[in-house]
A and B are shown apart, each in its own frame.
Chain A
Amino acid sequence: MVPRVLVIEPYSDLREAIVLTLRREHYPCDAVADVADAAQEIGRHDYACVVVDGDTTGEVVASLDPATHVVSLAKPFGRYELLAAVR
């Protein structure tokens, strides 16, 4: 089963670009702009992986199942870097 990914990124066009990249690789994917919305999504779904903006990593990690794979890449990052980190 393909792991479900949550993207937490406040900058809307970057969020959209990350989602488009992941969906093309057939990852089920949700995206939110901030930690508050992320908390709601995390309550609704089990995420195997969370892609998170570097500025909010700490807040997000605290609310996650320790088994969740957290990806926080230095911007700007490319498609292959993103996919390698999520896999």
Chain B
Amino acid sequence: MGKMATREAYGRALAEFGADNRIVVLDADLSKSTNTATFKKDYPERHLNMGIAEANMMSVGCGLATCGKIVFASTFAMFASGRALEQIRNSACYPKLNLKVCATHAGITVGEDGASHQCIEDLSFMRSLPNMTVVSPSDAASTRFAIKAAIETDGPFYVRLGRLAVPDIYGEYGSDVPFTLGKANQLKAGNDLTLIATGYLVGEAIAAAELLEQEGIHARVLDMHTIKPIDKDAIIAASKETGAIVTCEEHSVIGGLGSAVAEVLSENAPCIMTRVGIQDVFGQSGTPAKLMEAYHLKAVDICATAKNLLERKKNA
């Protein structure tokens, strides 16, 4: 299985779709890291460096958007969703402008840079904004479709991208992916419980489902690539058909995928659930592999969580 970071796929997708001269790309002095430099190579006149000034970048993007541009604004997730939160809210979401915030280096797999750069709150921040669409693709091929959807769909977007090279879930970059905004992809059938994952943890969830299968447990796996609007139907069906849900995200368990799923369940079809994610703590420096273990985000952790949940289901 091949590997590619979703940020690299983002850069390639921008270049691939970049002939559309409505597209303007803004970066805040991180174009090599965010990979918008890939777009710049082909379309230098439409790549504007805003310097280390993320707040201004977002509102400048909104001004461009009022003039018919489709604006991609990139920096690290921490500075995009954190520092520039209010610009995104008031300048982009309130007037529903075509600002596509494509934030890289999300989650703890940023690694050695440590907690200051490991954004584990962005889904929570962005999901609460009216008019915002929030997408968290799991691999290179689906990132390409997420960017395509962002270009084709009017309004503000937040696309969560990672630093780390991640395994191809849907095949290599360019492969066909069934990608509809707001519609989860079922990657494995099963009726004992459901693993609902997003972003990097989709791969871990698939591996966890394989471990469970070896023990005769049939887990359903959903790739929840769109966090908002969330796929209510898939969540309700998972509750009714499997009766137990584990959510898996490289994000705080507060406010992200786990919360979104819990909201749908509690109002529509309550069932037992557990949230795998960062447990309301900051990250730290270390290799991504070490951090994935330390914060219990690996397939083995998801597997153990799933088995505990199934015990609860049995005793319920």
Answer yes or no: are A and B bound together in one complex: no
- A residues sitting closer than 8 Å to B (CB atoms) are none
